[in-house]
């Protein structure tokens, strides 16, 4: 007997703070840096602008500059974007830090541990099996689907692997939305 899955409200992965950066400090060899309160530095050279995002070593406070724009013509900037750099706009700090291009260019990775949460709307999941759940990512947090599902349903990883039907690999980290179906337990 097959029945249509019972669909519940989406689960949401949200950032709770900015992630740290895996960046080796040249002074103390610590491997983590933070954007702290979030500051840009803008330097004008004729009609060209350099923009950096400043980060601090978490252990010795040494400041490093991450290149955001290098010798870019002033006229190529949207005025609102330029104002954001000059005002250290927190949203621009976040979107700049989370832009994968910045990480590639400056050779760091983001440390998401403790910087996100999974919001699961209250629902009685045992009313009608199977249940279909969609997970939405508000921020690009890379997490293994099996971990999210285990946390959201309060199941063990083994149970997740046994009871979940999903089109994407459960063990490979993803940061884009997906849906899965929970089958009835034994």
* Full DSSP string of 89-132: -HHHHHHHHH-HHHHHHHT-EEE-TTSEEEE-----TTSSSSEE
Report, in Å, the least distance between residue 21 CB and Zn ion. 12
Handedness of CA 181, 183, 184, 186 (dihedral sign): negative
Q: Which alpha helices (H) appear in the chain, and where do they start and end?
A: 79-86, 90-98, 100-106, 145-153, 157-163
> Closer CB to Zn ion, residue 47 or residue 107?
107
> Closer CB to Zn ion, residue 22 or residue 132?
22
Report, in Å, the least distance between residue 30 CB and Zn ion. 4
Report, in Å, the least distance between residue 56 CB and Zn ion. 8
**Residues in the site for Zn ion, rule: CB under 5 A?**
25, 27-28, 30, 57, 60, 62
> Closer CB to Zn ion, residue 43 or residue 63?
63
Report, in Å, the least distance between residue 42 CB and Zn ion. 25
Encoded tokens for 7: 């669909």
> Closer CB to Zn ion, residue 49 or residue 57?
57
Report, in Å, the least distance between residue 27 CB and Zn ion. 5
> Closer CB to Zn ion, residue 28 or residue 87?
28
Name residues whose C-beta falls within 8 Å of residue 101's C-beta, 6 or more positions apart in sequence.
none
Name residues whose C-beta falls within 8 Å of residue 52's C-beta, 6 or more positions apart in sequence.
40, 41, 42, 43, 65, 66, 67, 68
Strand partners, 56: 34, 63
Contact by Cβ (8 Å): 34, 157: no
């Amino acid at each position: 007997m097959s029945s249509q899955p019972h669909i519940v409200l989406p689960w949401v992965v949200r950032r709770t703070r900015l992630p740290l950066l895996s960046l080796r400090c040249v002074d103390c060899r610590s491997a983590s840096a933070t954007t702290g309160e979030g500051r840009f530095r803008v330097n004008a050279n004729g009609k060209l602008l350099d923009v950096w995002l400043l980060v601090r070593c978490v252990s010795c406070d040494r400041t490093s500059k991450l290149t955001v724009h290098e010798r870019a013509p002033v006229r190529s900037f949207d005025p609102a974007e330029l104002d954001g750099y000059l005002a250290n706009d927190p949203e621009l700090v976040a979107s700049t830090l989370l832009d994968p291009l910045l990480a590639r260019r400056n050779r760091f990775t983001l440390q998401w541990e403790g910087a996100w949460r999974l919001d699961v709307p209250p629902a009685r999941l045992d009313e009608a099996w199977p249940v279909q759940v969609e997970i939405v990512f508000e921020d690009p947090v890379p997490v293994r689907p099996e971990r999210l599902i285990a946390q959201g349903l309060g199941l063990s990883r083994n149970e997740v692997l046994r009871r979940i039907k999903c089109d994407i690999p459960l063990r490979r980290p993803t940061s884009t939305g997906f849906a899965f179906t929970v089958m009835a337990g034994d």
